[in-house]
Amino acid sequence: MAPQIQAIELARYRGFRDAQRPELLRLNLVYGENNAGKSALVRVPALLAASRTPGRLGLDLGEPVRRAGFQEVRWRGPLPDDADSDLVLGVGLSDGSAWRWTFRWLNSRAVSTIQRIELSTPDERVDFERVDLAAQDPRDAEYVGPQGPQRLVFDGLIPRTGAGDLMDRHRDGLAGALDGVIWLQATRQAPTREGTSLGAQGVLTGSGEGAAARVASDAKLRSAVSAWFLTHAQCRVDVEFLGTDRQRLVLEPVGAPSYAVPFPDSGEGLQQVFPLVVALEHLRRDGGLLCVEEPESHLHPRLQRGLVALIVDVLRAQPAASVLLETHSEVFLIAALAAAVGALPAAVRLYWVEAGKDGAATIEDVPLDPEGRPTTPRLEQAFDTMGVMRRELIQARRAGAQESRSRGG
C-alpha cells in the first residue's frame, strides 16, 4: 500500500502569505468564513497530484486552480523587504518522508521553475537548488546538490531516477501517495441524460465527471452506491440501455421497479451527492486521500447525516483512507465530534481558516479534549449566527406584542 499524505505545507500560495503546515488525521474538517482560503487549502493535494506530466517541469496549473497563471496563484499582497517571494508547497507522508518544492518566477523568460526541491526523513536529508536561472529552456536546468552540480529531469514535480539514493528510494512512494488523491469541487456533475458508451471506464475528475461511467461498468461498485441511495433516498441506482452502444444511470423509486428517473430529472441534492458516494466507495476499496469542497451541497440535514455515516464507515473499514472536507455544515461538525469519541477516536481534526486584516490567511488547529469537545471557542463562535437570529426573533416578537397591547389599551 502506498504511503498516505499526513501533512500539507504551503507558503506564498493564494491567500497564505506565511508558512502553514496543517497535519492530517483520518477525518479532517476545515471551517471558516467565505473567501478565507478553505478551498485553496483543500485543493493543494489535487494540484500536486495533477503536476506529474512526463518531461514537463513544475506545477500544472489546471482545474484545481481554475487554470490560473502562476502569478495569480502566488501570494500577490505586500511582503516585508527581506521576505522570500517564492511559492512553497509540500507534503509529509506516512513513511516518514517530507517533500518540499520552492517555485520561482523567472521574469526574463516569463515562466516559473522549481528553484529548490527538498526531501527529508527522520535520518536523512537532501536538497537541490537551481543555479542556472538564465537557461534558455527552464526544463534544461542545472542544480547543485550533495555531490555538486547535477542536471535534473522532472516529470512535473517528481525527479526522475538519478537524483541520488534518497530521492530514488522515496520517489515511488511520493508517486503512489499522489495517485491516491481524489478531489471533488463544490459544484459536481451528475450522470447525464445522454449516458456513456458501453464499456467506458471513466476517470473521476474534480467535477465528478467519470463517476457515471465507473458505476455503469462496475456491478459491484453500482451495488454499493445503490445501497446508500436505497437507505437514505428510497431509490435504487440502475442501468438503462440506450440502443446498442450507450447506457445511462437512472433512479428507481422503491416500490415502483418499472418507473425509472434519469438523474438530470432527480433532485439537485441527489445529483450533487452521487459523485461523492462513488468517490467514497472507491476510497473504501483502494485507500487514499479524498478532498471535498462543500459535501453538504443541496443536501437536507437528514441526508447530510447519512453522508457522514458513510464517511465514517469507509474510514473504519479502510485504514489506508483519509478525508479532508471544506464545509459550512453544523451537521458535519456534530457528527465529527461524535466520531471523535466513538468510531474514530483520536482520528478527527478540526481546522479554522481565517484571513487577517492584511489579507493573509492562517490555519488554526482546533484541538479536541478526550471527550471530543473543542478546547477553544472558535467553532462555537462560528455557529453563533443562528443563536443571534433566534434572540433577535424573540425580541421582535416581544416588541410586536408590546406594540399590540399599547394600541389596544
Is residue 218 over pLDDT 70? yes
Is residue 132 over pLDDT 80? no
How confident is the model over 310-322, as pLDDT tens digits? 999 999 999 999 9
| C-alpha distances out from residue 128 to 102, 104, 164, 409, Å | 10, 14, 10, 85
Partnered with residue 30 across adjacent β-strands are 326, 351
| Distance (Å, whole) CA 278 – CA 35 | 28
* Cα Rg of the chain, angstroms: 24
Domain ranges of the chain: 5-179, 182-345
Q: Which architecture characterizes domain 182-345 according to CATH? A: 3-Layer(aba) Sandwich (3.40)
CA dihedral of 295, 300, 304, 310, whole degrees rounded to 10: -100
State the average pLDDT for the chain: 93
How confident is the model over 350-381, as pLDDT tens digits? 999 999 999 999 999 999 998 888 999 888 87
Q: Residue 137 has what pLDDT?
A: 58
Contact, 352 vs 379, CB < 8 A? yes
| Distance (Å, whole) CA 144 – CA 147 | 8
| Distance (Å, whole) CA 1 – CA 10 | 26
- Grid cell 457515471 is found at 212
> Which of 267, 216, 210 lies closest to 237 in space, CA to CA?
216
